[in-house]
Amino acid sequence: LEEAAFQLQQIFRIDISIALNILGIESMRAGHCRAAFTCFKLAADRGYSKAQFNVGLCYEHGRGTEKDLEKAGFYYCQAASSHHPMAQYRYARYLLQHGPGSCWDRHHKAVALLERAAGAGITEAQAYLGVFYMRGLQPQEKRGLKYLLQAANSGDAQSRYHVGVCYEQGLGVQQDAAEALRHYRQSAAAGNGRARERLRA
């Protein structure tokens, strides 16, 4: 009986958190940012990762509450520790730009989070890692190209442009002007201005 009661409590707690998070999303869509933030916060404080991520967004962008990057980082961290992929991406960005601790520790932790988010299919993380590995202090061009291709294949026009640059300049791949043109054309067709400029050049 004790086990059954515990299970019921868990289900009830999760259901309430899901309901609060949905109410928060609907309130945000209706333009009631303060009410949305209150709902997200109640669900987040119950340990619901999707709501923790939403609270992080609210703090990062100042929607329904004062803008506070430190609090945004805290809630992204909470959601990331529950394996929320988009929170892993956002927390990694926070660590690289604003995080506490030594530069090396932040960098190491951020890259691990970005790798996990990219592996979960987060296009933004794939694109970020692609550029990160291409432009780092010790560039890893093949690794960078792998992530740029993943993001490009998910529809990211900017990453498709960068793949074109890789083929044009031979970064992480055999130089191939025809392949570069193909990627530039696809990127330009998706609205990328830099790709259009490269095609004209």
Task: Sketch the domain layout of the chain as residue ranges.
Answer: 121-200
pTM of the model: 0.83
Which candidate, 170, 169, 164, places its Cα nearest to that of 148? Answer: 164
Confidence of residue 19 (pLDDT cuts 50, 70, 90): confident
CB 145 within 8 Å of CB 130: yes
Q: Which residue has the tokens 């992480």?
A: 172
**Cβ atoms within 10 A of the Cβ of 181, count?**
15
- Measure the CA–CA gap between 100 and 195, rounded to whole angstroms: 37
How is residue 162 written in tokens? 């960068």
Segment 17-28 mean pLDDT: 90
Task: Tell me the CATH number of domain 121-200, given options 1.10.230.10, 1.25.40.10, 3.40.640.10, 3.40.50.300.
Answer: 1.25.40.10
SS3 137: coil
pLDDT score of 73: 95
SS3 1: coil
